[in-house]
Amino acid sequence: MRQCSRWQVLAQLFGWMHALSVAFFYLFIWWRTTPNKDDKVQPLAKKEDGLPTIGPTVSIIVPARNEEQNIERCVRSLLEQDYEHYEVIAVDDGSTDSTGRILDELAQTHPNGHRLWVLRLRDLPEGWAGKPHAIHRGVQEAQGEWLLFTDADTWHAPNCLRSAITQAIREGADLFTLASEQELPGFWDKTLMPMAYLGISMLYPPRKANDPKSKVAIANGQYILIRRSTYTITGGYARPDLRATLLDDRDLAQIVKQTGFKLRFVDGSGLVRVHMYHSLGETWRGWRKNAYLGNRGGLAFVALQLIGLPMISLMPFLLPLLMLLSGGWRGSRNGRQSLLLAVLELGPLFAYRTWLNRMMGVPWYYTLTHPLAGAIFTGILGQSAWRVLTGKGVDWRGRQYHNRHHHEERVHSEHGVRVSDR
């Protein structure tokens, strides 16, 4: 009887400690990740036809490897920008699908096809990752005073470039990056992307990135606008420490900020949209490639996350259910304690997720998928860490990275072919 009472006391103590910890976590993460009101892009009004635009020349570089599902929408939107002084360099990085053919057709048939140049790469040199190498080769062909790096799965509003370059110059930014509006049409999109945002914004809050006194630096690889002089001075992706990175956006931002240049990270909702992944398997592989590498704090912090993620995503739902099944709601005193514990567990979580869901355009009831998202991302992070640490490697777009035994496409020569002459 005495032993049973002891276990009840320990269970109650654990319940209170866990509930208070969860409440503190979600209130803290809400405060930490809420952006400043000024950290938002200011869209310019639609430009009237015939009116000239004033500004520097911008070279837009789009790396693309097997992007037949996305590339036409992306490049078409780039060719329809209401800004005059720009070019689009699409880097076909050894695609084996219809990406190259689609780019050729756009260059030949689109009214602004003369702005598009296609750079074809055959091989990936030793010591490089695919995307940094593709951007590096694109920069070598670029003529702009500013460089814009964007992904093939993005869509850009006609006034996006004009708005971004205008604000970047007005604010004196050297690297100006937009947080994309996420397109979340499917169940897995709406379930997993809020959890991904929670993790990234916790590690790299935009407010800290915009603070020159903070060492935190992050950029969104879906939209990085950078002065060419800044890129050249820092060495860009030609730097030995950036050539093989799978975190090209974060690492470039860190170099830029450490060198003393001004970094601005702002919300680009309404101007640039992205649909990152189209299935659960693609989502798993996409986040697996950089979940471990993108963490801050080393292996110890990753181990803490593998324990903590289920504690803040599954347990807040599980503990009230266990109390209900064990009869913890019975009796006036026990009932009040159980109810208060449930409110502490779920109240701040639901408040934070309601704010986050509204911001991402996700229905409120997807908060109920929070435990599922937590379980999946625990698996993604665990597998990512295991594959990198054991040398098994991570794969993306048919290439292996951080693999001890296999190095895909290791050659000492490279070749690029333009389909349009300047």
Nearest-angstrom CA–CA distance, 211 and 216: 8
* pLDDT of amino acid 49: 64
β-strand partners of 118: 90
Nearest-angstrom CA–CA distance, 294 and 288: 10
Sign of the CA dihedral with 368 first, then 370, 371, and 376 last? positive
* pLDDT of amino acid 296: 79
Query: In which residue are the tokens 């999109």 written?
Result: 189
**326: Cβ–Cβ under 8 A, 6 or more apart, which residues?**
none
**194 close to 238: Cβ distance less than 8 angstroms:** no
* pLDDT of amino acid 410: 38
* pLDDT of amino acid 125: 93
* pLDDT of amino acid 301: 87
Nearest-angstrom CA–CA distance, 287 and 376: 11
Q: Tokens in use for 293? A: 């590498």
Q: Which domains does the chain have, with CATH numbers?
A: 2-33+297-401 (no CATH), 58-180+220-278 (3.90.550.10)
Q: Is 266 helix (H, G, I), strand (E, B) or coil?
A: strand
Q: In angstroms, what CA-CA distances link 86 with 44, 116, 171, 369?
A: 17, 10, 21, 43
Q: Tokens in use for 217? A: 């630096």
**51 close to 79: Cβ distance less than 8 angstroms:** no
Tell me the one-letter amino acid at 25.
Answer: F
**175: Cβ–Cβ under 8 A, 6 or more apart, which residues?**
219, 224, 225, 226, 227, 230, 252, 253, 256, 261, 262, 263, 264
Edge-first strand listing for the sheet containing 181-182: 154-156, 272-274, 181-182
Q: Is 263 helix (H, G, I), strand (E, B) or coil?
A: strand
Element (H, E) at 330: none
* pLDDT of amino acid 208: 93
DSSP 372: H
Query: In which residue are the tokens 């009230």 written?
Result: 320
Question: Which pTM was predicted?
Answer: 0.89
Tell me the one-letter amino acid at 201.
Answer: S
Ramachandran category for residue 172: left, alpha or beta (phi over 0 → left; psi -120 to 50 → alpha)? left
Along the 422 residues of the chain, how does pLDDT read in single tens digits?
455 566 666 767 777 888 899 999 999 999 999 888 889 999 998 876 666 677 899 999 999 999 999 999 999 999 999 999 999 999 999 999 999 999 999 999 999 999 999 999 988 999 999 999 999 999 999 999 999 999 999 999 999 999 999 999 999 999 999 999 999 999 999 999 999 999 999 999 999 999 999 999 999 999 999 999 999 999 999 999 999 999 999 999 999 999 999 999 999 999 999 999 989 999 999 999 888 988 877 888 899 999 999 999 998 988 777 766 665 555 555 567 777 888 888 999 999 999 999 999 999 999 999 999 999 999 999 999 999 998 888 887 778 887 764 444 433 333 444 444 33
Nearest-angstrom CA–CA distance, 288 and 282: 10
Question: Strand 175-179 and strand 223-227: pairing?
Answer: antiparallel
Closest Cα partner for 163 from 55, 262, 76, 57? 55
